[in-house]
Structure 1
Amino acid sequence: MKKVLFVIHDLHLGGAEKVLVNLVNHMDRSKFDVTVLALFGGGVNEPFLNPDIRLIVGHKRPFPGNSHVMKLFSPERLFRYYIKGRYDAIVSYLEGPSARIVSGCPRDGTKLVSWVHIEQHTMKNAARSFRSAEEARKCYCRFNRTICVSRTVAEDFDSIFHLQRPVEVLYNTVESDVIRENAQEPLGEIDGKKEEIKLIGVGKVVPNKGFDRLARIHKRLREEDGLPVHTYILGEGFQRKGLEAWAAENGLSDTFTFLGYQTNPYKYVAACDLFVCASHAEGFSTAATEALIVGTPVVTTEVSGMREMLGENEYGVITENSEEALYQGVKEMLTAPERLSHYKEKARERGRRFSTGQTVRAVEEMLTKLFLEKSSDVSEEKTTQ
């Protein structure tokens, strides 16, 4: 049995955090002894780890400026502080601090995997959690494997770091059967009026998710187009209070509703007429994947992974990544009932292709091949002490 450690910043709200829990819960225990290290504890996803998954917490809670404090220490020192014992493989399950820490592993035969979830576009962004661009390059060169969640994320990462080995793509693990089952739970909170058209957005309520532009789109649909839309936002984040205040100022509090964090988001998504992704950037959207699985049509901005998920508008509608284009895409969907019905069927069709077992097996096969390889020619460059 191989010992595998997954390292992540925390298990709080977020797609990557949820996907990691899905993945480790379904890995074959006869082959893999799995441990998760959360640098910071208290995450809402922690209780969903199976009892046989070992959870280690570096700090009980995040502290202000933690990423800056970490940069005061070398990757080697951070590794010794956070990671005890020996593992056959250590996986950094997010870019940034966890990658920097894992790269400090001594050359003891442990296989290292870096898992990248988002497009970073520039070296400045990619090196934000490192002391410098040079250190970021050295750290990422230390990994035996680089895994990305979509082709566009892989192309973006490769364009920045130019690693002398392939960057692989493995798609996120979702619990498709559990999602479909939970989507059937009774729901009373958003029944509303029968004539209402229900839209839903899911994710952390932070600027990157674009909920502010979804709010403005909601206003235009109601006031300019006379559409009886009711938009629900499923998630928490620091931007929520400001958006709630904006909705109140514009007389939209009754139709632009925050549902907060929900342990079963699927029943809410299934109850809505349209899922809208207004994000400025994504990796491979877990929320959009889940919408397809429950059969809710998707309209999204063009962000990483959406063309792999939806094709050329075959299984959902992809617009340019602008507020105006997204508004037009949502409006066209809502003013053509046959179009909405068509994409509901296409969502169900596409949703059937997301298999928990298939994505987990792909990860297990990647790790198994990695264990069979001799020591790879990763960079011998040392980071600054």
Structure 2
Amino acid sequence: MKKKKILIRIGSLRHGGAEKVLVTFLKNLPPDLYEIDLLLNLYSGKYLADVPNFVNVLYLNKGEMITTNRLQDLPKKAYRKVFQGILKKFSSILYSKILKGKKYDIEFAAIHGFRDEILNSPLKNSKKIVWIHNDLRKTHFHNYTDNEIRKFFGFDKIMVISQHIQKDFESLAKNEDEKSRIVRVYNPLDTEEILQKAGREKQEVPNAVPVFVSVGTVFPQKGFDRLLKVHQKLLEEGFNHRLKIVGDGYDFENIKKLKSDLGVVDTAYMTGFTDNPYPHFRNADFFVLSSRYEGFPTVLFEAITLKKKIIATEVSGVSEMLENGKLGLIVENSEQGIYDGMKKALENPESFDKYLENMKGYQMPFTLEKSVQHIQKIIDNL
């Protein structure tokens, strides 16, 4: 059987949800069926080491992401931007030089930000797929209008990760053909790996005071600034507790400075990068999702897998994942909402016992194997 030739594009393999999901998917694909080129804008990120050997990794630039505007970094930062801009505008150069004139059966934008790069491909006969991980109405850098979202209908398949995003796209479809291009997929999640990694470090004694943990890439979408302000307010009101933020990202130094400005250095802890966040999950009393927006926050399934008491802002995917509040406390998407949820946890922790009870009989709506097979089927049927 002839292998399908696939080009996948993503910015890097840094510590983000979409990057993790992509690598989990690749690790669980049968290597004898596909010939995959993974093209990165920047050859960097913790998930590089996890890419399976049968995937050919290509890149436009090498080195770490530059998140500052220090004078000595500006030439390299400018070069990368100009180089990537030229290859985006003149795609024939990219395809002839870096991709060596290779013809692909499928071209795959692993995140929505590569929409134009894939749709402007000089390969007119390839089938094209995009994987939408976020609510495009509320992204940090660019809130998409109806006209902007309509451009995604240039793809043969639009994979979306929540009912909320699916309904948004379906409302803009002009006919049944366009509607049929939208397909809801569950992100591949390796629950066995989560349980195994969580068990590596044992918690010897219960926490002296309640500990809240939040896990994610440190940038504005995740709302860690709101979380720190709520933490400070509750401390001022006499609610003794600790906060742990697990993750790294370009906003890390800003959040670290805010922690200092708020005077909560001794009660709020930032771990920075870790390749195993799961012991932090397990050793906390409560998990908080403080996000301003999401697509389908996989981190909630990780919290459910580890049977955590959950507080989550009402963003895309949360009601669906927490079964409309059956598996965790859903709060208003605001600083006040986060405050109300954390205060309830501190004043009335036993009110969260019902969520743990409901988790006992909970079955994940997917398995790793089923998720991978579903995406494979989409690819194979194009």
Percent identity between the aligned chains? 27
Q: Which ranges in structure 2 are unaligned for 5 or more consecutive residues?
A: 66-75
How many Å separate the matches in 1 of 2:168 and 2:98?
Answer: 29
After TM superposition, the score normalised by the length of structure 1 is 0.84
Q: Which among 109, 126, 140 is matched to residue 92 of structure 1?
A: 109
**3-state SS of the aligned residue for 1:204?**
coil
How far residue 244 of structure 1 moved from its aligned partner, in angstroms, is 2.6
Counterpart for residue 169 of structure 1: 184
Deviations 1:10-38 (A, max 9, x none): 11121101110111111122333333221
Structure 2: how far apart are the matches of 1:209 and 1:122? 12
- Higher relative contact order, chain-length normalized (CA < 8 Å, sep 6+): 1
Does the 8 Å CA contact 1:119/1:157 hold for their aligned counterparts?
no
Q: Give the aligned partner of residue 264 of structure 1.
A: 276
Residue 311 of structure 1 aligns with which residue?
323
Is structure 2 residue 135 aligned with structure 1 residue 104? no
Equivalents in 2 of 1:122, 1:255: separation in Å? 31
Cα drift, residue 235 of structure 1: 0.8
User: What is the CA-CA distance between 1:193 and the residue it aligns to?
Assistant: 7.2
Cα shift at 1:240: 2.6
Matched, 1:181 2:196: yes
Q: 1:56 to 1:281 in 2, by over 3 A?
A: same
Q: Secondary structure at the match of 1:45?
A: helix
**Unpaired stretches in structure 1, ≥5 consecutive residues:** 371-385
Maintained 8 Å contact 1:4/1:88: yes
- Structure 2 CA distance for partners of 1:106 and 1:353, relative to 1, 3 Å: same
Quote how far apart the aligned CAs of 1:161 are: 7.2
8 A Cα contact 1:75 1:101, kept in partner: no
Distance 1:246 1:59, change over 3 A: closer
Which of residues 260, 270, 276 in structure 1 aligns to 2:288? 276
Query: Cα distance, 1:5 vs. partner?
Result: 2.5
Aligned 8 A contact 1:302 1:321 in 2: yes
Distance in 2, Cα, partners of 1:54 & 1:46 = 11
- Indicate conservation of the 8 Å contact 1:316/1:346, yes or no: no
CA RMSD across the alignment: 2.8
Distance 2:305 2:200 in 1: 15
What is the rounded CA distance, in whole Å, between the counterparts of 2:123 and 2:259 in structure 1?
Answer: 55
Deviation at 1:159, TM superposition (A): 4.9
Q: Deviations over 1:87-113 (max 9, x none)?
A: 2212101112x2211112335532110
Q: 1:30–1:77: structure 2 CA closer, same or farther, 3 Å change rule?
A: closer
Q: What is the TM-score with the length of structure 2 in the denominator?
A: 0.85
Cα 1:100–1:75 shift into 2, 3 Å = farther
In 1, Cα distance between equivalents of 2:57 and 2:326: 41
How many angstroms apart in 2 are the aligned matches of 1:68 and 1:158?
Answer: 36
> Structure 2: how far apart are the matches of 1:42 and 1:216?
32
Number of positions where the alignment pairs a residue of Structure 1 with one of Structure 2: 360
**Alpha-carbon deviations, 1:254-290, whole Å to 9, x = none?**
2100011110111111111111111111111122221
Matched, 1:125 2:127: no
Distance (whole Å) between structure 2 residues aligned to residue 43 and residue 330 of structure 1: 33
The answer to whether the 8 A contact 2:213-2:246 is kept is yes
Instruction: Determine the C-alpha separation between the residues in 2 that align with 1:156 and 1:82.
Output: 36
Displacement of 1:158 after TM fit? 4.7
String of CA shifts for 1:34-57, please: whole Å, max 9, x gaps. Answer: 332212111121112123332222
